[in-house]
Structure 1
């Protein structure tokens, strides 16, 4: 394997950067598409369900805290959130989102 001269090396770096830029544009396009799907899915739920989903998954509130905030039983809140998440996941993932047991992990 031969070493590249300065011009060849710069040309190779340029080609690699162009490929990196193209990959980043593709990634950005995919992220925009996914973000739009998530926005649509989030709006499938009613205001109360959206608020509870946000409280539990994004803000880390306990079911008891959510229950007190919304004036419903903790059990009812869990069921409301479960149904909302199922509906949202159907919008995002389609039929693939209907496993035997739903388990979602949101990471930052």
Structure 2
């Protein structure tokens, strides 16, 4: 398999997972909101007691330290979740940008096959064309999307060739 075919296969996998990515992003954002809510709840840290007792305040300080450790853990979790959501959002936005760059009829082919899970025969029939026509046009659209996504890689290769 050559490199271009590899890019096309990666693009097909990305398109096939588009709906799942949208659900994943929604779930990630919901988890972030839940963690922020937990962070907002906080814990009332007790006030330290100082008095005549030789061990006054030791339990309260442990509770304060425990609350601080919990807060740090939640903040770290929020940061990790936000980073994961950003990667997911980037993948979705990449597909959306590429689709917008295609002609309307090619956008529809890609959406119907990869997002709506229609087979090429049904897509061709709905447009009064053959399955072969739908498959070929869909493949051309996916190749264009792959070039848009992986243009940087291909461009670096072109730059290398032009420098010689």
TM-score past 0.5 threshold:
yes
Q: TM-score, normalised by structure 2?
A: 0.49
2:127 to 70, 75, 91: 70
For structure 1, list consecutive stretches of 5 or more residues without a partner in the other structure. 99-108
Q: Does 1:20 align with 2:77?
A: yes
Q: TM-score, normalised by structure 1?
A: 0.71
Bigger Rg over Cα = 2
How many Å apart are 1:77 and its aligned residue? 0.8
SS in 2 for 1:43: helix
Divergent runs of 4+, >3 A: 93-96
**Counterparts of 1:71 and 1:95, CA distance in 2:** 37
Larger % of helix: which?
2
Is residue 121–residue 134 contact of structure 2 (8 Å, CA) maintained in 1?
Answer: no
1:9 to 38, 43, 66: 66
Aligned length: 93
How many Å apart are 1:15 and its aligned residue? 0.6
For structure 2, list consecutive stretches of 5 or more residues without a partner in the other structure. 1-61, 155-164
